[in-house]
Amino acid sequence: MKPATVKESPTPSITRTCTLLAFAFFVPVLGAGAAVSKGFNHLLDAVVRIDVREESFDAGARRFTAGIGSGVIVSDDGLILTNAHVASPRSVELSVTLASLERVNATLVGWDHWTDLALLRIDLAEAKRRGLTFTHARFADSDTLFPGQTVYAVGTPHGLTRTVTRGIISNNRRYFADNRGVKGYETGLFNTWLQTDAAINPGNSGGPLVDEQGRVVGINSRGYLGADNLAFAIPANIAKRVVADLKGDGTITRSYIGIVPGALLDLEGFYSLKQNTGLLINSVDPGSPAARAGLRGGDIVLSIDGAAVDGRFPEQLPPILNIIASLPVGYNVKLVVKRGDQTLTPAIVTEKLESRQGEEWAFEKWGLTVRKVSRAYARENQLDDDTGLLVIGVQPGFPAAVAGLSRGDIVTKINQERIVTLEIAKALHDAFVAKPAPTLVEAESDRRVSLYILKP
Partner 1 sequence: MKPSRSHLRFFFFVVVLLACAGARADDLPGLFKERVKSVVAVEFFTESELDRRPTIASALVADASGTLVLPPNAINNYVPPVKLKDFRVYLPGRPASEYSSGEYLGQDPVSGWHFVRVEEKLRGSLTPVTAFTARDASAEPSLGEEFWGIGLRGKDEDFMPYFMASRISNVQSLPERTAIALAEVAAPGLPVFDRAGKFAGVAIGGFGQTFVQYSRNDRGLPVMLLNVEESSVFQLAPDVIPWLARVPADVSGRPISWLGAYGLQPMDPEVAAFLKLGDQSGCVVSEVLEGSPAETAGLKARDIILTVDGRPLPRFKPDRVVVTYFERELGRRKPGDAVALTVLRGTERVEIKATLAEQPKLLREADRTYFEKLGFTAREFVYGDGIVRRVKLAGHKGVVAHFVKNSSPAGTAGLRPDDWILEVDGVEVKTYAEAIVKLAAIEADTTRTEFVLLTSRGGETAVLRVKLK
Q: Which of these is catalytic: 45, 91, 100, 116?
A: 116
Our finding on whether 298 is near partner 1 (CB under 8 A) is: yes
**Cβ neighbours of residue 393 closer than 8 Å, sequence gap 6 or more:** 57, 58, 59, 60, 61, 368, 369, 407
* Binding-site member from 66, 131, 382, 434 for partner 1 (CB under 8 A): 382
* Binding-site member from 89, 202, 250, 262 for partner 1 (CB under 8 A): 262
Q: Is 28 helix (H, G, I), strand (E, B) or coil?
A: coil
Our finding on whether 282 is near partner 1 (CB under 8 A) is: yes
Task: Compute how many other C-beta atoms are within 10 angstroms of the C-beta atom of residue 174.
Answer: 18
Q: In the complex with partner 1, which residue's Cβ is closer, 162 or 379?
A: 379
* Binding-site member from 260, 344, 420, 424 for partner 1 (CB under 8 A): 260
User: What pairs with residue 111 in β-bridges?
Assistant: 118
* Binding-site member from 27, 251, 449, 456 for partner 1 (CB under 8 A): 449
CB distance 236 to 217 below 8 Å: yes
Our finding on whether 452 is near partner 1 (CB under 8 A) is: yes
Which residue stretch of 19-27, 93-101, 181-189, 294-302 sits at the interface with partner 1 (rule: CB under 8 A)? 294-302
DSSP letters for 140-151: --GGG--TT-EE
Binders of partner 1 among residues 47 to 106 (CB under 8 A) are none
Q: In the complex with partner 1, which residue's Cβ is closer, 111 or 366?
A: 366
* Binding-site member from 147, 184, 286, 328 for partner 1 (CB under 8 A): 286
Our finding on whether 296 is near partner 1 (CB under 8 A) is: yes
How far is 200 from 69, CA to CA, in rounded Å? 12
Which residue stretch of 19-27, 96-104, 126-134, 437-445 sits at the interface with partner 1 (rule: CB under 8 A)? 437-445
How far is 136 from 6, CA to CA, in rounded Å? 20
**Cβ neighbours of residue 401 closer than 8 Å, sequence gap 6 or more:** 60, 367, 394, 395
CB distance 394 to 406 below 8 Å: yes
How far is 91 from 299, CA to CA, in rounded Å? 43
The CB-of-439 to partner 1 minimum distance in angstroms stands at 9
* Binding-site member from 141, 249, 380, 423 for partner 1 (CB under 8 A): 380
Looking at residue 164, the DSSP 8-state letter turns out to be E
Our finding on whether 448 is near partner 1 (CB under 8 A) is: yes
Residue 409 appears among annotated catalytic residues: no
**R_g of the chain, CA atoms, integer Å:** 25
The CB-of-222 to partner 1 minimum distance in angstroms stands at 24
DSSP letters for 363-374: ETTTTEEEEEPP
Residue 429 appears among annotated catalytic residues: no
Distances in Å between the alpha carbon of 275 and those of 135, 266, 314, 315, 415? 49, 9, 16, 17, 61
AA letter at 421: T
Our finding on whether 265 is near partner 1 (CB under 8 A) is: yes
Q: In the complex with partner 1, which residue's Cβ is closer, 147 or 438?
A: 438
Residue 116 appears among annotated catalytic residues: yes
How far is 191 from 234, CA to CA, in rounded Å? 8
DSSP letters for 179-248: SSTBTTB--SSS--EEEE-S---TT-TT-EEE-TT--EEEEEEEE-TTSSS-EEEEEHHHHHHHHHHHHH
Which residue stretch of 2-10, 163-171, 215-223, 442-450 sits at the interface with partner 1 (rule: CB under 8 A)? 442-450
Q: In the complex with partner 1, which residue's Cβ is closer, 71 or 367?
A: 367
- First-last CA distance in the chain: 46
The CB-of-393 to partner 1 minimum distance in angstroms stands at 21
Our finding on whether 340 is near partner 1 (CB under 8 A) is: yes
Q: Which of these is catalytic: 100, 205, 221, 288?
A: 205
Which residue stretch of 51-59, 84-92, 219-227, 438-446 sits at the interface with partner 1 (rule: CB under 8 A)? 438-446
The CB-of-387 to partner 1 minimum distance in angstroms stands at 13
Our finding on whether 403 is near partner 1 (CB under 8 A) is: yes
Which residue stretch of 150-158, 168-176, 237-245, 265-273 sits at the interface with partner 1 (rule: CB under 8 A)? 265-273
Sites of contact with partner 1 (CB under 8 A): 260, 262, 265-267, 270-271, 280, 282-284, 286, 296-298, 340, 379-380, 382, 403-404, 416, 438, 440, 442, 444, 447-453, 455
For the annotated catalytic residues, the residue numbers are: 85, 116, 205
